[in-house]
Amino acid sequence: MATETIGKYTVTRSRGKMTVTSPDKHGTITVYGNGHAIPLEYLVNDDGQEVFGFRYRGWVYDLEDIMSVGQHAPAWMRQFDGHASDSFFSGILVKWYDNGYGADAVQAYTYIG
């Protein structure tokens, strides 16, 4: 288990799990993921539309629905490239995966607050 400080947050990493603790009243955020590359491809979503994206935990995510992580995001979140919220307290975080030929895959992580 490794612990580090990113900005004002304490981050603990252990076996594919990252726990982010804020010194404020905001509490703890847990990030789960294994870092495997998920290929980007054309898929059919729940509405029957063809989208360019990826499948993660049984859901199809369109790249158009992934918002970039900007400079005003919390310090711990800036190590990721994008995010999509499922609810007020949960969602996914995305890192572009570059195999040397361009970003043709992503690494996806689940966060729960």
Spatial separation of the C-alpha atoms in residues 2 and 4, rounded to whole Å: 7
Type of residue found at 40: L
Q: What is the pLDDT of residue 103?
A: 67
| Joined tokens for residue 44 | 């059919």
Tell me if 7 sits within 8 A of 76, measured CB to CB: yes
- Tell me the whole-structure pTM to 2 decimals: 0.81
Torsion-angle region of 65 (φ positive above 0: left; ψ -120 to 50: alpha; else: beta): alpha
Distances (CA, A) of 106 to 19, 22, 38, 69: 21, 27, 5, 15
For 64-91, the pLDDT digits (tens) are 999 999 899 888 888 899 999 988 889 9
